[in-house]
Structure 1
């Protein structure tokens, strides 16, 4: 919370504004920040919780629990979110087929992520492409 005095041109106090900032901080959890950065930089690789947990020197179970507590989702769910974001970006490139888009993102078009894409966005990748390229 921050309090800011608002004064007029004569320096007379008019009122005080209180600002409440509600943001989800990771309570200075360096492990969460490092994990997200690692996923953001290695999204094309296959997800490996053991490698991720090793980077922050924790067991996979403890790190997954801590990540979910502070980030609101598991590390794997975060990884999927990043992948879906990259798919959305690449689907706007009409020079690539949808299968090629998935391949460039290191994912099989007939795999689980295509289903997750539809669950998350309410449309298939081809429907998403059509919607985005009609604008």
Structure 2
């Protein structure tokens, strides 16, 4: 992808931001797991964690997503870039789908409007971290700069 910066000077910062998003998902999932203990997996009730609607299913999903993001950050080698980009697209789709089904029985993860806002915001932050975290050789950086200057 010629439009993705290679060896951006702030890539360690963006990698750390991706790690913070992963930590947030793990923290939210653990708190949601504690709050929804004893409920059905896809219960639609008033369970909240950090001010957001959740249930056991979304709490478990959050822990898994956060762990995958953190694993990508630890491994690096552009694996974090791929994970951050693809998970951000998946989170955007999830947030928009849950927004569409917010007041219906199809709200399987018990989202509230605050949960939708947080998920979509974190998806955008994760996408930003994925776009600016790419590492490459000097030749790839040079090719990216030449392509950027042509545009």
TM-score by length of 1: 0.28
Greater per-residue helix proportion: 2
TM-score by length of 2: 0.26
**RCO comparison, higher one (Cα < 8 Å, 6+):** 2
Which has the higher Rg, Structure 1 or Structure 2?
1
